[in-house]
A and B are shown apart, each in its own frame.
Chain A
Amino acid sequence: NFMLTQPHSVSESPGKTVTISCTRSSGGIADNYVQWYQHRPGSSPTAVIYENYKRPSGVPDRFSGSIDSSSNSASLTISGLKTEDEADYYCQSYDSSAWLFGGGTKLTVL
């Protein structure tokens, strides 16, 4: 199986835009869909992006997802940052009947 690598942390100011990357170690990023989860302290993880770029009902359009085959990575972009976006974000994909998660990125909005 492959690994999904994320930056440990990112920070940005309210109102700005931030992008979190998720790099696949082997195989193509487009081979399997990528999902993104938000995990706020004290809450359960919730999906904010599925199938690379789709948003579940109720997720604001400030959240967007994409994949880039040239860098073999997926990205989660959050625009118009709010303090409530401060959380851990995890990417997740699937391969050969195994579900894989990235190590997570802590987003600080300050």
Chain B
Amino acid sequence: QLQLQESGPGLVKPSETLSLTCTVSGGSINSKHYYWGWIRQPPGNGPEWIGNINYSGSANYNPSLKGRVTISVDTSNNQFSLKVPSVTAADTAVYYCARLQTVITVFDNWGQGTLVTVSS
């Protein structure tokens, strides 16, 4: 059974870089049938798609965040990662990693989510 698990610091200081990793188990990240994505949900708000990446490293990003975030993939360790530099309190959210099917564009498997708080 496919599982995704987010890992990274739960507290980041303003102006520093938020870094998260998603480890995929029970299946290979090295598949042309899926993209691997990051989604965040600020407190009290709906989800916000951050971006996706495929096994070859081809990524697309939310236009509202483009230029701020970077998603990378490490197929040898079955992981993909998110970096958000120069964070502010507005980046405080629960961050989820998820698998996206390429054909029907549905996020069919999600991690448990990890709360990242930006505060000094």
Residues of chain A having any CB pair with chain B under 8 Å: 1, 6, 33, 35, 37, 43-47, 50-51, 56, 90, 92, 94, 97-104
A45/B105 in contact, CB under 8 A = no
A99/B105 in contact, CB under 8 A = yes
Bound together, the chains give a CA A46 to CA B45 distance in angstroms of: 18
New contact pairs (10) apart from A35-B106, A56-B108, A103-B46, CB-CB < 8 Å: A35-B105, A44-B110, A44-B111, A47-B107, A47-B108, A51-B106, A56-B106, A99-B37, A101-B47, A101-B49
Within 62-120 of B, Cβ neighbours of A (below 8 Å) are at 62-63, 96, 100, 104-108, 110-113
B100 (CB) vs chain A CBs: closest residue: A99
Interface size of B in residues (CB-CB distance below 8 Å): 22
A44/B112 in contact, CB under 8 A = yes
A101/B108 in contact, CB under 8 A = no
- Chain A neighbourhood of B49, CB < 8 A: 98-101
Most buried by A among B105, B111, B112, B113: B105
A90/B108 in contact, CB under 8 A = no
Bound together, the chains give a CA A51 to CA B52 distance in angstroms of: 19
CB A100 to nearest CB in B, in angstroms, measures 7
Bound together, the chains give a CA A102 to CA B47 distance in angstroms of: 8
In the complex, B60 has a CB within 8 A of chain A: yes
Count of A-B contacts judged by CB separation below 8 Å: 56
In the complex, B16 has a CB within 8 A of chain A: no
CB A24 to nearest CB in B, in angstroms, measures 15
Cβ contact of A33, chosen from B47, B100, B105, B113, cutoff 8 A: B105
B113/A47 in contact, CB under 8 A = no
Bound together, the chains give a CA A90 to CA B46 distance in angstroms of: 8
CB A21 to nearest CB in B, in angstroms, measures 14
A101/B106 in contact, CB under 8 A = no
B107/A37 in contact, CB under 8 A = yes
- Chain A neighbourhood of B105, CB < 8 A: 33, 35, 94, 99
Q: Given A97-B60, A98-B62, are A45 and B46 neighbors across the interface (CB < 8 Å)? A: no
A104/B46 in contact, CB under 8 A = yes
Within 24-60 of B, Cβ neighbours of A (below 8 Å) are at 37, 39, 45-49, 52, 60
